[in-house]
Amino acid sequence: MSISREEIKHIAELARLKLSEDEIKKLGGELSSILEYIEMLKEVKTEGVKITAQVSGLDDITREDWVVDWDKNELKSALEQGELENGNLKVKRVL
Amino acid sequence: MNLNELTIKEARQKLDQGEISSLNLTKACLTRIKEINPQINAVLTLCEDLAIKQAKNADIRIKAGEKGDLLGIPYLCKDVIMTKGVRTTAASKILEDYIAPYDATVIKKLKEAGAVLLGKTNLDEFAHGASTENSAYGPTRNPLDTSRVPGGSSGGSASAVAANMCIFALGSDTGGSIRQPASFCGLVGLKPSYGRVSRFGLISMTASTDTIGAITKTVYDAGLVLSVIAGHDPLDATSTPDKISDYKQGTEKTVDLSGLKIGLPKEYFLKELNPEIKNSILILAKRLEDAGAEIKQVNLPYTKYGIPVYYIITPSELSSNLARFDGIGWGLSREGIEDLQEFYKTNRGEGFGAETKRRIMLGTYALSAGYYDAYYKKAQAVRTLIIEDFKNAFNQVDLLLTPTTPHPAFKIGEKSNDPLAMYLEDIFVTGASLSGLPAISIPAGEATTPDDEKKKMPIGAQLIAPRLEEERLLNIAKFLED
């Protein structure tokens, strides 16, 4: 199982990661050897086996939709870690 | 004996009898941290003023006659758990200046109980690792031999407890991150059942296996901390509403082992297992047998698929969880980049370390179009088979006894250039994580290190119980500790 340089660049694009030339080269080799090891899963017969997404022992936790006021100071200190304009979190231009 | 060397139980008695104050106990820990942390690098952030204030407050509460298991007891917390007003880095550069705006539920509970937060401990960045070498702030060293790793990812917490910098420490265990460092440092590490302890305020890694637990000097202490932090939380929909017991009392009951069945899983006694470790586990089994328990060999045939399943599920889940770190709202944010995509990529590329990027890449690959079924869905199906293995075993026995790791602590740098070798460290600990089962590592003597035949380091025995059976786990762990 070998991952090409183009594939590494494509995955990095999907993951929104800027990688150096060195990192691209190194990751190609590392991911290939990790995936080669993981290939052993192919030998397991899983036809008809249900998949497991969670192990909480709970199903479909529902509740009424209600609004709770969060602590004002906590809200303030959460927002202040970003760039604020008129009390609103400033994001980058999308278009 | 210095105050910082006390167990929770010992400190509790002295505090309640007025022999010591929380302030003196806290100061003893702070002095020890300042003295030894420059060599060990277990503590990333010290909150001295806050700790002194909390200790004084605890002393007032004790003087007023208040009783509480953790009232006035100083502890350290893994830096992947939110602590209001205190820097919370996840050992990543991307969160270097991040101040947690609120407390995790576990921290809130400890605050109400009157425990004293001393500071935050080092870890593998975002808990990605088994040696605490993957920290953006340098590796933590094992205080029992500073040329060796303390294990990971809760290596800062384990080192801190082993070096008596605190009375206990909080860690998180996603695929062994409490149990493995506890075994490398000669301590007790308890991973509760998935959902037993609220994850609210724990920076998410693998949301389907993340748990919070304690690293302590004794089994009693581990049960005590669990009693305080366990319970349903409306802020975590995956936390279980099932009742919690007084786990510390459970460890004080006389244990009747007659009729108890203990399983030794054949697949955990591999030829690669250090023979001294194997022998130590068999000695523990013999002690249980002599006390009336029945020892049975059981089979967990899908054990060998634990690592490959874990290293698909974990990178997949964490690649989604870490998508929120983009430089907007919090964390590392480079100025002067107008293009939005370029802005995201730069912040993430510069903010995340090598192992975190490796895992994000692996997870993104496994979830990408064309590979989702072959990797992610396949791993989820094999996960079901691993869970069924444990179910079958627990139809025959009450508890499983295994080694925690195949060998004692290795040298710093020994495995850091070989990601796969590091992943294989988790071989005996991922099963319980993938299955959501409670497990504990307790000290089980020492074994010779593979790199130096004159050097012995601590080893751990792991007990695994059926889901939500922490009381049984702690009971038997206590029997083996005595």
**Same-domain status, B59 and B120:** yes
Given CA atoms B331, B336, B340, B346 in this order, what sign does their dihedral have? negative
CATH number at residue A18: 1.10.20.60
Alpha-carbon distance values, B296 to B262, B269, B385, B474, B478 (Å): 6, 14, 21, 20, 21
Q: Tell whether A86 is covered by a domain.
A: no
Residue for token pair 């953006």: B136
Q: Tell whether A25 is covered by a domain.
A: yes
Q: Tell whether A58 is covered by a domain.
A: no
Judged by CB atoms within 8 Å, which residues 122-181 of B form the interface with A?
A: none
Chain Cα centroid distance, residue B354: 22
Structure-token pair, residue B238: 């995956």
Q: What are phi and psi of B263, to 5 degrees?
A: -100, 135
Q: What percent of chain B has pLDDT over 90?
A: 94
Q: Tell whether A24 is covered by a domain.
A: yes
The C-alpha atoms of residue B440 and residue B284 are separated, in whole angstroms, by 14
Residue pLDDT, tens place only, B44-76: 999 999 999 999 999 999 999 999 999 999 999
Strands B294-298, B399-403: parallel, antiparallel or unpaired by DSSP?
A: unpaired
**Same-domain status, B449 and B389:** yes
Q: Tell whether B116 is covered by a domain.
A: yes
Given CA atoms B341, B344, B347, B352 in this order, what sign does their dihedral have? negative
What's the pLDDT at B271?
84
Residue pLDDT, tens place only, B130-185: 999 999 999 999 999 999 999 999 999 999 999 999 999 999 999 999 999 999 99
Out of B373, B400, B423, pick the residue that ends a domain. Answer: B373
Indicate the pLDDT class of residue A91, thresholds 50, 70 and 90.
confident
Q: What are phi and psi of A39, to 5 degrees?
A: -50, -25
Q: What are phi and psi of B43, to 5 degrees?
A: -110, 125
Q: What percent of chain A has pLDDT over 70?
A: 99
User: What string of DSSP letters covers B3-17?
Assistant: GGG--HHHHHHHHHT
Given CA atoms B110, B111, B113, B118 in this order, what sign does their dihedral have? positive
Out of B373, B403, B426, pick the residue that ends a domain. Answer: B373
**Same-domain status, B33 and B82:** yes
Residue pLDDT, tens place only, A10-31: 999 999 999 999 999 999 999 9
- Gyration radius of chain B's alpha carbons: 21
> A19–B349: do the CB atoms touch at under 8 Å?
yes
Q: Tell whether B157 is covered by a domain.
A: yes
Nearest one of B320, B311, B296, B318 to B393, comparing CA atoms: B296
For B21-32, what is the mean pLDDT? 98
Nearest one of B455, B475, B468, B404 to B130, comparing CA atoms: B404
Residues of B in contact with A34 (CB under 8 A): 311, 362, 419-420, 423
The C-alpha atoms of residue B111 and residue B206 are separated, in whole angstroms, by 26
The C-alpha atoms of residue B40 and residue B33 are separated, in whole angstroms, by 9
**Same-domain status, B51 and B180:** yes
Q: Tell whether B414 is covered by a domain.
A: yes
Kindly report the CA angle at B349 between B347 and B355, in degrees rounded to 5? 130
* Residue B32 reports pLDDT greater than 90: yes
Q: Tell whether B312 is covered by a domain.
A: yes
The C-alpha atoms of residue B435 and residue B467 are separated, in whole angstroms, by 9
For residue B121, give the 3-state DSSP assignment: strand
**Same-domain status, B292 and B313:** no
Residue pLDDT, tens place only, B460-479: 999 999 999 999 999 999 99
Q: Tell whether A18 is covered by a domain.
A: yes
DSSP state of B460: E
> B333–A16: do the CB atoms touch at under 8 Å?
no
What's the pLDDT at B428?
97
For B442-466, what is the mean pLDDT? 97
What's the pLDDT at B166?
98
Residues of A in contact with B379 (CB under 8 A): 41
Residue pLDDT, tens place only, B279-319: 999 999 999 999 999 999 999 999 999 999 999 999 999 99
Cis peptide upstream of residue B208 (ω within 30 degrees of 0): no
**Same-domain status, B77 and B188:** yes
Q: What are phi and psi of B189, to 5 degrees?
A: -130, 120
* Domain of B17, in residue numbers: 1-299+383-482
Nearest one of B164, B375, B398 to B260, comparing CA atoms: B398
- The secondary structure of B338-379, three-state, reads CCHHHHHHHHHHHHCCHHHHHHHHHHHHHHCCCCHHHHHHHH
* Residue A94 reports pLDDT greater than 90: no
Residues of B in contact with A29 (CB under 8 A): none
- pTM, to two decimals: 0.97
Q: What are phi and psi of B135, to 5 degrees?
A: -95, 140
Residue pLDDT, tens place only, B183-200: 999 999 999 999 999 999
**Same-domain status, B251 and B366:** no
**Same-domain status, B145 and B229:** yes
Structure-token pair, residue B328: 């907007």
* Domain of A9, in residue numbers: 5-43
DSSP state of B300: -
For residue B389, give the 3-state DSSP assignment: helix
Number of H helices and E strands in chain A, helices first, is: 3, 2
Residues of B in contact with A11 (CB under 8 A): 361, 364-365, 368
Query: Out of B96-110, B237-251, B406-420, B464-478, which region has the weakest mean confidence (pLDDT)?
Result: B237-251
**Same-domain status, B75 and B219:** yes
CATH number at residue B225: 3.90.1300.10
User: Which residue from B302, B307, B360 is facing A17, i.e. has the nearest CB?
Assistant: B360
For residue B225, give the 3-state DSSP assignment: helix
The C-alpha atoms of residue B433 and residue B303 are separated, in whole angstroms, by 12
Strands B74-78, B116-121: parallel, antiparallel or unpaired by DSSP?
A: parallel
What's the pLDDT at B50?
98
For B206-221, what is the mean pLDDT? 97
Strands B261-265, B188-191: parallel, antiparallel or unpaired by DSSP?
A: unpaired
Q: Does A94 touch chain B (CB under 8 A)?
A: yes
Q: Tell whether B462 is covered by a domain.
A: yes
The C-alpha atoms of residue B189 and residue B78 are separated, in whole angstroms, by 13
Q: Tell whether B378 is covered by a domain.
A: no
Whole-number mean pLDDT of chain A? 92
Judged by CB atoms within 8 Å, which residues 204-263 of B form the interface with A?
A: 208-209, 237-238, 240
* Residue A90 reports pLDDT greater than 90: no
* Residue A6 reports pLDDT greater than 90: yes
Q: Tell whether B167 is covered by a domain.
A: yes
**Same-domain status, B78 and B124:** yes
Q: Tell whether A38 is covered by a domain.
A: yes
What's the pLDDT at A1?
66
**Same-domain status, B337 and B392:** no
Chain Cα centroid distance, residue B378: 28
Out of B340, B373, B406, pick the residue that ends a domain. Answer: B373
Judged by CB atoms within 8 Å, which residues 15-44 of B form the interface with A?
A: none
Indicate the pLDDT class of residue A60, thresholds 50, 70 and 90.
confident
The C-alpha atoms of residue B46 and residue B37 are separated, in whole angstroms, by 10
Where are the extended beta strands (E) located within chain A?
84-85, 88-89
Nearest one of B305, B392, B310 to A45, comparing CA atoms: B305
**Same-domain status, B157 and B16:** yes
Structure ipTM: 0.96
The C-alpha atoms of residue B349 and residue B268 are separated, in whole angstroms, by 39
Residue pLDDT, tens place only, B357-389: 999 999 999 999 899 999 999 999 999 999 999
Whole-number mean pLDDT of chain B? 96
Q: How many other CB atoms are found less than 10 A from the CB of residue B253?
A: 12
What's the pLDDT at B249?
77
Minimal C-alpha gap between B283 and chain A (Å): 33
Q: How many domains does chain A have?
A: 1
In the chain, the amino acid numbered B261 is: K
> A17–B98: do the CB atoms touch at under 8 Å?
no
Indicate the pLDDT class of residue B246, thresholds 50, 70 and 90.
confident
Catalytic annotation, residues of B: 78, 153, 177
> B344–A75: do the CB atoms touch at under 8 Å?
no
Structure-token pair, residue B140: 């933590």
Q: How many domains does chain B have?
A: 2
